Structures are given as C-alpha cells and as structure tokens.
Amino acid sequence: VSGHALVVVRTDEHWAALHRLRRAVLFAPGRRVRDIVYDDAHPDDRDPANTPFLLVHDGRPIGTTRLDRLAPTLGAVRLVAIDGSEQRRGHGRALGALIDAEARRSGMTRLVVNSAPDAVGYYRRLGWSEHVWDAAELVGLASDCVQMHKLV
C-alpha cells in the first residue's frame, strides 16, 4: 500500500484533522442517529487502551480510525472514516491492511467492529464476517450496527 501511512494522533494538528474527518463523514447532520452530538473531548479518545490514528496519503490526512484494546489479544476497530471525496479509491482497503498489521504488532489475534449497515460490504471485502461479539454495545449510535470480526 505505497503512499499510505497510519499515524498515531498526538499533535493538536492531528487531533483537529481527526475531529474534522469524523464530523464530516460520521456525524454529518442527518447521516445517522440524529440526536447524537459529536464530542471532541470524549474520554474514550484519551483512554490509554485506545489508540487514535490518521491515515495519511501523500502527506495529507484523508482517513481516521481508532484501535481499542478490549483484552490482551482482542482489539476493536472504531470510528472508521475516509474523507468523502476520497472514498471508493482504495484508501479504505489500505487503512484496513495497516490496522491489521498494527493489531498483529501489538499482539492482537482478533479484531471486532460495529459496522454501519452500509459499510458491511466494505468489511466483507476485507475478510471480516458477521459475528455478534457483544450485543450490549448495540445502543445509541451503534443501535443499527452489524457486529463483525476478523482473525488477524
């Protein structure tokens, strides 16, 4: 996946890019659950078990995700977003390959996700399959999500 890098979010500039991407792609008015207001100071983003990333392509942040360690060998991929004008051009596939590698490097053997209904096809193409891993997570923003998992 030449030209792509997964960068851990640390600087103010990186945080601003992450919030911009999430707001535009995942929390745009009317896109999903209407009554959820994006909180750019959410404690989950600063939890030491969770690692927020930017996908950088040719020096530009064009995507984001977060990898949460749920257990020593289990990770959750959350808040996956590719910039609107950059979707369907292979960047999501690159992000998937990089996050799998990142998970393996940190000792994870399985990843789980709450997929938006219209992203299930994307995850399937990348080797994920439908599997209920924690029904208690299917509330709020995730109430219409499809749970999936992948061995990495």
Ligand X SMILES: CC(C)(COP(=O)(O)OP(=O)(O)OC[C@H]1O[C@@H](n2cnc3c(N)ncnc32)[C@H](O)[C@@H]1OP(=O)(O)O)[C@@H](O)C(=O)NCCC(=O)NCCS
Which residues bind to ligand X, rule: CB under 6 A? Answer: 25-26, 80-82, 87-93, 115-116, 118-119, 121-122, 125
**Smallest separation, CB 82 to ligand X (Å):** 4
**Smallest separation, CB 69 to ligand X (Å):** 18
**Smallest separation, CB 144 to ligand X (Å):** 11
Cα angle: 16, vertex 27, 15; to 5 degrees: 15
Beta strands in 40-107 (DSSP E): 50-57, 60-71, 74-82
Q: Which is nearer to ligand X, 12 or 88 (CB)?
A: 88
Sign of CA dihedral 84, 124, 60, 50: positive
Question: Taking CB positions, which residue lies at the least distance from ligand X?
Answer: 92
Q: Which is nearer to ligand X, 95 or 108 (CB)?
A: 95
Sign of CA dihedral 98, 44, 12, 82: positive
